[in-house]
Chains A and B, each alone.
Chain A
Amino acid sequence: MPSFLIPPLKILLIGLAGVVVLLAARLAGLGLGPLFAAPSNLAAVLVFFVGIGFAAFLWWLASRCFTLLRDPATTPEQLAALRELPLALPEGTVRALLALIVGVIGLPLLLFSQSLALNDAVAGYVNGIIAGVFGYYFGARSTTPEAQAARRLGDALESQNRANEALRNSEAAARAAVEVAQHPNHVADSMAKLERHLGVARILVQRLGPALPPGLIPPQAGALLEQAEKVLAAARSLPDLGTLQAATAILIGRDGPFPALLRAAAPLLPAVAGGPLGGVALLLSLGWSLGAAAWTRFRARLLDAPHDPTLFEPGAISPASAELRLAEAPIFARLFTARAAEPGFLASLLDACLRPDAAERLWARFPGFASPAEAEAGLTEFRRALLEERVEADLTPELVARINQSLSGAAPALRPDPQSRALLPQQGSDEARAALQALTLLLGEMRESRTDPALILVELAP
């Protein structure tokens, strides 16, 4: 017999068995008359059968539970999950069962309260119980979104929002460019442009400047900023297009703080097609477009931040992968390349490097370092290589192509080659590194204020 016929057949046979019992009772002279003699008798029988019905239902559920327990395919996780559930039943079953009992018994009691000669007080109690149970049952129907899924969704959404915002900004910039071309004397546009560049200059001169090596920000930048602030304040009451444009030209020109910092950081990206300045511009725009997790890695790489395990996905780095990073870490490459084929060596090395006390472990367990300082330097190189691989993977060719497109309207020096691939900065002078780190911090501020650096970059004249 086909298996799908068994359940309905079972129900039919159970029903037939009930009918047979009733017929037998009738043949034996046991009539059902007394049952209908008084409504309260009928209610009592109803409650009795409902109780029997629920007992049978629970028996059926228990038998299914035993079937599950006996099933070899049931995993320990599933069993553990069952243990945490009320009566080892799927979540909500007990709640639904209670609601059903109250509903199936309580509603008829309420509806037939007159026939059952219940007084108003009892009917009121029953009504209260039903309302309470149903209110709780439907009120408690809420779901808890899975935290990891929500985080990934949030990240994807943020990334998408940034992409959308970049598109909107590009469109707005294009419209603004058309508007300016049609109405070159538009004062409001000039004021907005000056405000944009003043915002960047304030961060660089007032907040980051004091911490930077002398000379990175031009000495006259403070005075220029003060002058531009005055021009903007004056323009609010009495706009003067010529003064506005002159103040803006100084900020975005060669002596402005932002162009000066871009030039200072450029030597770190000498190999980028389109020129080093284009490389920095590309890097900043890429950083702005990244999602939250990728931005954290990108910032850590550019700031040479200390190792943070949360930058890597759990369980992501295998020893075979670490072997490839050896070549990018000169100290480790010199000391350990010959030992890489030893059984378990790479796994031990990677394990030590990913621990919080990595430098001490390396010095204590891996002979060859000249000093603890060299062990620490080797560790820094190796961790940097691990992080760099992830950051490079975050900068996808599609993203690079999109950013190249958005910078196509920038000054020629800031325009990356359309075919260029993003390159991360190389080692360079302390000044260049400080400049790039200042630009990274500026980029963080721009991400906070949702200001696309591409919009600022296309207006620069370095």
Chain B
Amino acid sequence: MRAALFLLLAGCTPVAALLDPPLAQLARWETATPAEIAAEPVVCPPGHAACARLHTRRAEACMGLAMASRAPGAACPATREHLPCAVQSFAAARAPVPNPVLAANEAQARLCLAELMAPAAGAAEAVQAATAIAESSPQRVPLLAARAALIAARPGAGHDSQRCAATLTGLRIAPPGSREAADLARRRASIPDCGETP
């Protein structure tokens, strides 16, 4: 890899690409557009030092494309396009070494994906996001956990008891005064036998 790195730095990209394809892909992506990166799968043998960065680069590109299509003020895009790519790439990027930023981004991508599913499937996806949320940076956990709880508490996401439990869990952790906290309180009030009515 060292030889390839020096060749790369010296400008001999074709030779470097032969010696070390992942490093060559990384070098190519330095100047590629997000759309080009998102369209090209990561080719990297397990254990290669450049794999994590390649997956991160692709995850950021996919997430950037997905989020760029959002309406002003919206938390999530209106279509699934690029979200599965972001989820898979973030998961692959943080697999070797835990990374709170990547975990938070993966959680956000999963939650957006969950928002685009039917309530029951969305609740299942929100459960899958729980692992990533738990490994996120502490300052992002409350908001992400509250949003996950809100998805899990949607009508049709499960039995009322499950929805109520999700709401109460979310309320405990939601940032005080946030939109999510107010939404969870309102949702709790709409679930029978789950607290006060509005």
Asked if A75 meets B101 with Cβ closer than 8 Å, knowing A309-B72, A317-B74, A344-B78, the reply is: yes
Asked if A392 meets B182 with Cβ closer than 8 Å, knowing A318-B76, A341-B118, the reply is: yes
Can you name the residue of chain B whose Cβ is closest to the Cβ of A83?
B30
The answer on a CB contact under 8 Å between B71 and A393 is: no
A316 contacts chain B at the CB level, 8 A cutoff? yes
> Which of A318, A323, A344, A354 lies in contact with B72, CB distance below 8 A?
A354
Q: How far is the CB of A347 from chain B (nearest CB, A)?
A: 5
A351 contacts chain B at the CB level, 8 A cutoff? yes
- With a cutoff of 8 Å between Cβ atoms, the chain A residues found around residue B5 in the complex are 66, 69-70
B52 contacts chain A at the CB level, 8 A cutoff? yes
The answer on a CB contact under 8 Å between A321 and B74 is: no
CA distance in complex: A347, B187 (Å): 18
B79 contacts chain A at the CB level, 8 A cutoff? yes
CA distance in complex: A354, B117 (Å): 20
Chain B interfacial residues counted at CB < 8 A: 47
Q: How far is the CB of A94 from chain B (nearest CB, A)?
A: 20
A200 contacts chain B at the CB level, 8 A cutoff? no
- With a cutoff of 8 Å between Cβ atoms, the chain B residues found around residue A313 in the complex are 73
Q: How far is the CB of A15 from chain B (nearest CB, A)?
A: 29
Asked if A351 meets B101 with Cβ closer than 8 Å, knowing A66-B5, A321-B150, A344-B116, the reply is: no
Asked if A319 meets B52 with Cβ closer than 8 Å, knowing A76-B60, A350-B71, A351-B70, the reply is: no
The answer on a CB contact under 8 Å between A393 and B155 is: no
- With a cutoff of 8 Å between Cβ atoms, the chain A residues found around residue B96 in the complex are 72
The answer on a CB contact under 8 Å between A320 and B151 is: yes
The answer on a CB contact under 8 Å between B182 and A318 is: no
Per-residue CB contact flags for chain A residues 384-399 toward chain B (1 = under 8 Å, else 0) read: 0000011011001000
The answer on a CB contact under 8 Å between A321 and B179 is: yes
The answer on a CB contact under 8 Å between B79 and A318 is: no
A153 contacts chain B at the CB level, 8 A cutoff? no
Asked if A341 meets B156 with Cβ closer than 8 Å, knowing A321-B183, A348-B78, A393-B178, the reply is: yes
CA distance in complex: A313, B77 (Å): 16
The answer on a CB contact under 8 Å between B119 and A341 is: yes
- With a cutoff of 8 Å between Cβ atoms, the chain A residues found around residue B51 in the complex are 72
A33 contacts chain B at the CB level, 8 A cutoff? no
The answer on a CB contact under 8 Å between B116 and A347 is: yes
Within 8 A of B (CB), among A70-127: 70, 72-77, 79
B140 contacts chain A at the CB level, 8 A cutoff? no
Chain A interfacial residues counted at CB < 8 A: 42
Q: How far is the CB of B18 from chain A (nearest CB, A)?
A: 20
A448 contacts chain B at the CB level, 8 A cutoff? no
The answer on a CB contact under 8 Å between A389 and B182 is: yes
CA distance in complex: A392, B71 (Å): 23
The answer on a CB contact under 8 Å between A340 and B155 is: yes
A343 contacts chain B at the CB level, 8 A cutoff? yes
Q: How far is the CB of B54 from chain A (nearest CB, A)?
A: 10
CA distance in complex: A66, B8 (Å): 12
CA distance in complex: A336, B60 (Å): 34
Can you name the residue of chain B whose Cβ is closest to the Cβ of A322?
B74
Which has the most chain B C-beta neighbours within 10 Å: A75, A79, A312?
A75
The answer on a CB contact under 8 Å between A320 and B78 is: no
Q: How far is the CB of B194 from chain A (nearest CB, A)?
A: 15
Q: How far is the CB of B31 from chain A (nearest CB, A)?
A: 11
B177 contacts chain A at the CB level, 8 A cutoff? yes
CA distance in complex: A320, B147 (Å): 8
Which has the most chain A C-beta neighbours within 10 Å: B60, B80, B117, B154?
B154
A324 contacts chain B at the CB level, 8 A cutoff? yes
CA distance in complex: A15, B108 (Å): 54
Q: How far is the CB of A148 from chain B (nearest CB, A)?
A: 15
The answer on a CB contact under 8 Å between A351 and B49 is: no
8 A-B pairs in the complex with CB atoms less than 8 angstroms apart: A72-B50, A73-B99, A74-B53, A314-B73, A317-B74, A318-B75, A318-B150, A324-B186
Q: Which residues of B are in contact with A by a Cβ distance under 8 Å?
A: 5, 30, 49-53, 56-57, 60, 67, 70-80, 96-97, 99, 101, 111, 115-119, 121, 147, 150-151, 154-156, 177-180, 182-183, 186-187
